[in-house]
Amino acid sequence: MKVSLFVKSVSFAAVIFAALFLAGCATAKSKSGKMSQRCCASCSCEMSKESKCCATMASCSKMSSCAMKQTSQDFSIVKGKVWQLAQVRDSSGSITFDSSKLDKTIFGDIYTLEFKDGLAFGKAAPNRYTGPFELGKGDGISFKHAASTMMLGINTPQGLSETEYFKLLEKVTRWNFEGNQLSLYTSEGNVLVFQEFDYR
């Protein structure tokens, strides 16, 4: 009788342990999933402090591929508007160009961007430019070499020359629109952040 009760007790304890173990695994998997989703979002969207989460994980490339599977945005949301470059960030997230620090009386209307009929065009610093662009799968986008006027600029914007601006555009591979900002991401990890241009 004692042996039978002991066996039953052991069996019951084993069932309880197994149930608790499976519940723990499910909880861990759920938390891991939430972390992956958050990291995917931060990798696909504008760079933020959360992007460090991706960097500490084994492969941010996997996070990026996860982001690519998200529902694609409609590019028409950025068409018909004039965008102006507000910031450029390097692969570490450091700001290398900040338009808010420029003299608006000199550089108030530089680095603008518009999209129409397969063309991307605007004003650089100081030349006007135009060139073809193509949308790819998901959030993919690419800019071809742009033709521009040949004016000689007297002043160069701090942190970003016209030549550097054109080179960055040609390296862009994807786009994202969030919080009224258009972000363009290059193959080298740079992010060009545009805001809708205020003519006033």
- Which residues are registered as beta bridge partners of 122? 129
Question: Comparing 9-13, 75-79, 157-161, which segment has the lowest mean pLDDT?
Answer: 9-13
Q: Dihedral of CA 35/43/83/125: which sign?
A: positive
Report pLDDT digits (tens) over 135-146: 999 999 999 999
- By three-state DSSP, how is residue 14 classified? helix
In this prediction, residues 98-110 reach a mean pLDDT of: 96
Report pLDDT digits (tens) over 32-64: 444 443 344 344 444 444 444 444 434 444 444
Report how far residue 92's alpha carbon sits from residue 52's, in angstroms, rounded to the nearest whole number. 9
Backbone angles phi, psi at 157, to 5 degrees: -60, 135
Instruction: Name which CATH class applies to 75-196.
Output: mainly beta
Cis, bond preceding 157 (omega within 30 deg of 0): no
Q: Domain coordinates of the chain in residue numbers? A: 2-68, 75-196
- Which residues are registered as beta bridge partners of 177? 182
Report pLDDT digits (tens) over 150-172: 999 899 999 999 999 999 999 99
Q: What are the structure tokens assigned to 81, written together?
A: 């508007």
CA 6 from chain center: how many Å? 60
Q: What is the pTM of this model?
A: 0.66
Residues 6+ apart with CB under 8 A from 120: 113, 114, 130, 131, 132, 133, 143, 146, 169
Residue 37 to residues 40, 70, 73, 135, 163, Cα–Cα distance (Å): 5, 10, 18, 25, 37
Residues 6+ apart with CB under 8 A from 108: none
Q: Which residue has the higher pLDDT, 48 or 118?
A: 118
In this prediction, residues 12-41 reach a mean pLDDT of: 45
- Asked if residue 152 lies in contact with residue 53, where contact means CB atoms within 8 angstroms, the answer is no
Q: Which residue has the higher pLDDT, 9 or 163?
A: 163
Residue 50 carries which side chain, given as an amino acid letter?
A: E
